[in-house]
């Protein structure tokens, strides 16, 4: 099928796709990790304590529990004191870039509501937004309906063996309905679909994955004027980046030679860096070896105290418990969450999108992209929740005889699974020449082993042909190398496998 112009956008020549993974902001972080303390500073996270209030002279939303965190924000369970309703309160970092991203996310969610015409859609419901002033700056806060665990948690509960087939079909249909609403009705591209961003509705709380309680929310670091070695390194690096020689001699002629006039903010930052460097040098000069030894012992003690609880272990449930869970989830629903990396079809913020494992070939090549990037990601998600395995796990190889990067390996894995790539598409991106010859052949990997989806489902996972064939066909319609050949969410909803 052909996609219309409004469903695809050209990769802007000024914006290069980063080789690293895009920084995703899943609304719920890992249960075993926290966001650390380093970003609890000016421009970073807002320090939150259980019992704190937000909005309407700080008396409206009361914090009851930490739900998770992401690169952009922390997320908290909050009770609306007006209605006693529980919500998820997302508190964005306070730096200007994060504030702008929050405003964009709010606009996206308002469009989701606008085009739902009051009907329930499989996308998390936006409730409220407001500003909150804290010690680290102004933070944008967003209130959402309270949802439950994500699909990755469900995959873990079933010991990476795949979730029950009835749930697989149910969730596939709901995810497609959510994407159809975003793509066709709202003109929105999610750009970061993955199991962590697909959440169960609140009435279906999953069993605990770990014994013991999760870590308490981190508090801002107070180091009583003692600068750690890592902090010193960062200060030196920042001072160098800001022009260390210019800090020590503000009249340096190089400023005039480059004809750059510093703004007030730049001058203030330079003064701040200069003071930091002077403080660092002063501490180094006045600290004796005995003092350093004492500080080292103190820091070691703190590190031991702040270690995660050793008693937190994965809980393994019996087959009987998991069978009962499947029955309880028969009427469950899932919703797409986290539009923090989303964009409109006609207004895009960056070409650096999607977590690596779920990234489509056109993004790697720097080619035109649009709503089909979400369809590709959904195909990867479906395989993962059906089998427990990630579909593509690209790795780089640095052997002298056989060297290639993770993007080379990713493209090779795609071709091995789906089949040969057309020369026209392989050469369609700004980065095509890095990976493909002018004949459309991979430059850095020449030994491929083809293994199709249907054979994989039968031979590796033991599915019968009756089950494997329609499921593989369903995935293949999503996992087309050329995005114009991928079916839309609206079309996929008619697939026989979903019946």
Q: Which residues contact 441 (CB under 8 A, 6 or more apart)?
A: none
Q: Is residue 288 part of a domain?
A: yes
What is the pTM assigned to this prediction?
0.76
Q: Is residue 329 part of a domain?
A: no
Give the number of domains in the chain. Answer: 1
Least confident of 36-45, 232-241, 475-484: 232-241
Instruction: Give me the pLDDT at residue 299, please.
Output: 39
Q: pLDDT category, 38, cuts 50, 70, 90?
A: confident
**Token pair listed for 175:** 């995810």
Q: Which residues make beta-bridge pairs with 131? A: 140
Q: Is residue 71 part of a domain?
A: no
Instruction: Give me the pLDDT at residue 307, please.
Output: 40
**Token pair listed for 86:** 């529980």
Least confident of 70-74, 368-372, 477-481: 70-74
Active site members: 192
Measuring CA to CA, which residue among 11, 139, 28 is closest to residue 76?
28
Least confident of 71-75, 279-283, 409-413, 463-467: 279-283
User: How far is residue 181's CA from residue 4's CA, in Å, rounded to a whole number?
Assistant: 17
Average pLDDT over residues 259-284: 54
Per the model's pLDDT, the better-predicted residue between 307 and 453 turns out to be 453
**Token pair listed for 197:** 């961003």
Mapped onto helix, strand or coil, the DSSP state of residue 468 is: helix
> How would DSSP label each residue in 179-224?
HHIIIIIT-EE-----GGGEEEETT-PPPPSBSSPPPPPP-----T
Least confident of 139-153, 311-325, 357-371: 311-325
Q: Is residue 444 part of a domain?
A: no
Q: Which residue, chain included where needed, has tokens 């922390």?
A: 74
Where are any strands of DSSP class E within 32-165? Answer: 53-54, 61-69, 73-80, 86-92, 126-134, 137-145, 147-150
Q: Is residue 149 part of a domain?
A: no
| pLDDT tens figures, 390-417 | 999 998 877 656 678 899 999 999 999 9
CB-CB neighbours of 431 under 10 Å: 17
| pLDDT tens figures, 327-338 | 999 999 999 999
Is residue 370 within a helix (H) or strand (E), and if so which, with residue range? strand 369-370
**SS3 of the chain: helix, strand, coil, percent, to 5:** 40, 15, 45
Q: Which domain holds residue 257?
A: 229-305
Q: Is residue 264 part of a domain?
A: yes
User: How far is residue 218's CA from residue 300's CA, in Å, rounded to a whole number?
Assistant: 18
- The torsion defined by the Cα of 120, 124, 127 and 128, in degrees rounded to 10, comes to -150
Q: Is residue 83 part of a domain?
A: no
Average predicted confidence (pLDDT) for the chain:
81
| pLDDT tens figures, 247-266 | 333 333 332 333 344 555 55
Q: Which residues contact 160 (CB under 8 A, 6 or more apart)?
A: 388, 389
Q: Is residue 340 part of a domain?
A: no
Measuring CA to CA, which residue among 240, 27, 59 is closest to residue 123?
27
């Amino acid at each position: 099928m052909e996609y219309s112009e409004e469903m695809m956008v050209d990769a802007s020549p000024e914006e290069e796709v980063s080789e690293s993974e895009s920084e995703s902001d899943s609304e719920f972080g890992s249960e075993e990790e926290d966001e650390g303390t380093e970003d609890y500073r000016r421009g970073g996270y807002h320090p939150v304590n259980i019992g704190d209030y937000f909005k309407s002279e700080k008396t409206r939303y009361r914090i009851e529990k930490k739900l998770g965190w992401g690169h952009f924000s922390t997320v908290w369970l909050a009770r609306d004191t007006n209605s006693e309703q529980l919500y998820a309160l997302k508190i964005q970092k306070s730096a200007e870039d994060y504030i702008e991203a929050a405003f964009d996310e709010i606009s996206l969610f308002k469009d989701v509501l606008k085009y739902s015409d009051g009907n329930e859609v499989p996308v998390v419901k936006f409730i409220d937004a407001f500003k909150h002033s804290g010690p680290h700056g102004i933070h944008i806060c967003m209130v959402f309906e309270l949802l439950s665990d994500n699909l990755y948690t469900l995959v873990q509960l079933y010991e990476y063996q795949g979730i029950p087939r009835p749930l697989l079909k149910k969730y596939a249909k709901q995810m497609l309905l959510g994407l159809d609403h975003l793509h066709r009705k709202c003109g929105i591209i999610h750009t970061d679909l993955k199991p962590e961003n697909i959440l169960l509705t609140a009435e279906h709380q999953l069993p605990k994955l770990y014994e013991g309680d999760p870590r308490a929310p981190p508090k801002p670091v107070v180091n009583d004027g003692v600068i750690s070695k890592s902090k010193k390194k960062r200060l030196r690096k920042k001072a160098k980046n800001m022009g260390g020689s210019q800090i020590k001699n503000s009249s340096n002629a190089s400023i005039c030679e480059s004809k750059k006039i510093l703004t007030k903010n730049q001058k203030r930052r330079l003064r701040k860096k200069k003071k930091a460097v002077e403080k660092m040098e002063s501490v180094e000069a006045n600290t004796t070896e005995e003092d350093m030894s004492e500080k080292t012992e103190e820091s070691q003690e703190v590190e031991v105290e702040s270690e995660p609880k050793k008693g937190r272990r994965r809980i393994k449930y019996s087959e009987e418990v998991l069978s009962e869970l499947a029955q309880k989830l028969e009427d469950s629903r899932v919703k797409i969450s986290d539009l923090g990396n989303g964009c409109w079809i006609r207004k895009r913020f960056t070409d650096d999108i999607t977590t690596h494992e779920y990234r489509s070939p056109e993004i790697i090549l720097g080619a035109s992209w649009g709503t089909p990037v979400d369809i590709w990601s959904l195909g990867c998600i479906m395989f993962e929740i059906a089998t427990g395995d990630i579909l593509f796990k690209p790795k780089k190889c640095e052997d002298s005889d056989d060297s290639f990067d993770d993007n080379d390996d990713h493209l090779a894995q795609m071709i091995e699974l789906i089949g040969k790539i057309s020369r026209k598409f392989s050469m369609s991106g700004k980065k095509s020449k890095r990976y493909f010859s002018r004949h459309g052949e991979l430059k850095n990997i020449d030994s491929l082993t083809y293994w199709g989806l249907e054979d994989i489902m039968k031979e590796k996972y033991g599915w019968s042909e009756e089950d494997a064939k329609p499921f593989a066909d369903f995935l293949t319609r999503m996992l087309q190398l050329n995005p114009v050949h991928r079916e839309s969410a609206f079309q996929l909803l008619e697939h026989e496998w979903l019946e």
